[in-house]
Amino acid sequence: MTKIVGLTGGIGSGKSTVANYIASKGIPVYIADEEAKKIMERDDVKQKIQELFSESILNDDNSLNRKRIAEQVFNNPQKLKELNAIVHPEVHLHFQNWIKEHKNFPFIIKEVAILFETGGNKQCDKIILITAPEELRIQRATKRDNVDRATIVSRMKNQLPEAEKEFLSDYVVHNIDLQTTFKEVDVILKKLAKL
């Protein structure tokens, strides 16, 4: 039976970089955020999302205006919850089908930004947390997303505190220097191969 290994980390932690590194080793990696974006563009899902908002959340080309959605949900926990209630079950179903396609692997990686916040950790056999000092995470995220510090700090407030995530994780990687991080990840992958 293929084991599910959750890979998570807060904004700016470097979890996507680690996910890409793991994928480069030939290990199947499911990037939940990327799959969610694709699923959200499906007409049936898009219609349900539009019904949540009073103003149009579509661009001229009929694609979702993610910036407008983000502005609406990041300061409105109830709206965020309603949006997640539409998207998360669809992603879960997609993941179940994806895992069947990779059942010959001893384990797969499921990369999810808000793994604990959504209860996704309960479906994982093991969990890897990528973390870094808060100030470094803020610097990385402001540079990557081209937004101001206040925006990143506000997004961080929607995520579980790092200390709680560390407590709930099987493996914790402090991603300050990438070479050291990749070495730590290699050690973890060897352990996972023996599960």
Domain that residue 148 falls in: 1-28+106-195
Residues 19 and 110 in one domain: yes
Burial 81-91 (b: 16+ CB within 10 A, else e): ebbbebbbebb
Which positions make up the binding site for ATP?
12-17
127 residue type, one letter: I
Residues 78 and 133 in one domain: no
pTM summary value: 0.87
Question: By the 8 A CB rule, do 38 and 160 touch?
Answer: no
Which positions make up the binding site?
12-17
Single out the residue of 88, 89, 82, 95 nearest to residue 49, CA to CA. 82
Residues 72 and 16 in one domain: no
Would you give per-residue pLDDT tens digits along the chain (195 residues)?
899 999 999 999 999 999 999 999 999 999 998 999 999 999 999 999 999 988 888 889 989 998 889 888 877 889 988 998 999 899 989 999 999 999 999 999 999 988 998 888 999 999 999 999 999 999 999 988 888 898 888 888 878 888 999 999 999 999 999 999 999 999 999 999 988
Residues 97 and 115 in one domain: no
